[in-house]
Amino acid sequence: MTYNFCTLFDKNFLARGLCLHNSLLEQCSDFTLWMLCMDNESCAMLEKLKLEKVKILKVSDVEDERMREVKPTRTPVEYCWMFSSQLPLYLLEKTGVDMIAYLDADMYFYAPLETIYEQFGDNSIMIIPHGFSEKNKHREKTSGIYNVGMIVFKNDANALECLIWWKDRCIEWCFATYEDGKLGDQLYLNDWPTRFKKVFVLTDPGADVASWNIDRFTFHIEKDKIIGTEKNSGKKFPLIFYHFHGLKIYADSNNDIYLYPITVYERNIYARYLKALRKAYADVRMIHPGWSYGCVKKPRPFQLIKQRVALILRTV
């Protein structure tokens, strides 16, 4: 099976986009990944990297007149969110591929994707619930029932209708504030199972594990694979992909990449991602020495100690 994926990022998330790409190379034998560059720096870097199985897109390629009209009213982040609908819609209409999956750039695949698509079957649209842990359940009001991290669309009338409807809503209103049951692009997904036909809700616990639901699981290494266990049921499952939402990274005095300890939720999962991030920055710095986009300010020694203590207390 040939997989078709699309993602988007600016220079600050370029290294994470490279990690996503590398994880797909490891887990998929045949795919095309369309990368939408939200700024000139990320586009220029991708053109120099010449990544395997990647097609580069510019904002000017994908946006239309209606989007350009509202662009001055949106922040860069809010405008990025508007492409969650427009990018897959553009590609389905432009390329004619039979199916495409939108992926957030800060995700990483740890196992093959076949089981996701087997469960999706002959449905038209696939969405994934946040699956909040009990302590994060209150976030459903402002973050929504479903996460935009991975959404699959068949190239059929039903999915196209959904994408057009979603795009129209985001043109009308897509802001980084909560208002009347809306926030950005994500809360529009809440009623898709009843608004549109053949919407499949993926409940595989190995898909879209993230900081907001990881408290529901424990993880261990088994024959080089990361295996999760649901605390309530005892059910075991392979980790398919993790969503590194909110992860903070910094570069030390030697320009090496580290994770802010407070944002690390499971050592085995995050260690592999850190290795991928370091490789991504190394590849980019072969072309642009000193590239540090995406890194936040290094914590002071006292902050670092405090964060490491908090991490230890959280994991014991």
Sequence-ordered alpha helix ranges (H) in the chain: 14-27, 40-49, 59-62, 65-70, 76-95, 114-120, 140-143, 157-172, 192-195, 267-285, 301-315
Low-confidence winner among 60-64, 74-78, 141-145, 295-299 (lowest mean pLDDT): 295-299
User: 3-state DSSP helix/strand/coil percent for the chain, to nearest 5?
Assistant: 45, 25, 30
Band (pLDDT 50/70/90 cuts) for residue 314 is low
pLDDT above 70 (res 141): yes
pLDDT digits over 56-97, tens only?
999 999 999 999 999 999 999 999 999 999 999 999 999 999
pLDDT digits over 159-181, tens only?
999 999 999 999 999 999 999 99
pLDDT above 90 (res 122): yes
pLDDT above 60 (res 316): no
Domain edges within the chain: 3-208
Q: Please give the pLDDT value at position 304.
A: 79
For 3-208, CATH number out of 2.140.10.10, 3.90.550.10, 1.20.210.10, 3.40.920.10 equals 3.90.550.10
The candidate with the shortest Cα–Cα distance to 293, out of 19, 42, 21, 8, is 42
Angle between helical axes of 14-27 and 267-285 (0-180°, round to 10): 110
Helix (H, G, I), strand (E, B) or coil at 196: coil
Please give the model's pTM, rounded to 2 decimal places.
0.95
pLDDT digits over 221-255, tens only?
999 999 999 999 999 999 999 999 999 999 988 89
Q: Please give the pLDDT value at position 311.
A: 73
Catalogue the long-range contacts made by 281-286 (C-beta closer than 8 Å, 24 or more residues apart). 281/15, 281/251, 281/257, 283/18, 283/49, 284/14, 284/15, 284/18, 284/45, 284/49, 285/255
pLDDT above 90 (res 259): yes
Q: Please give the pLDDT value at position 198.
A: 98
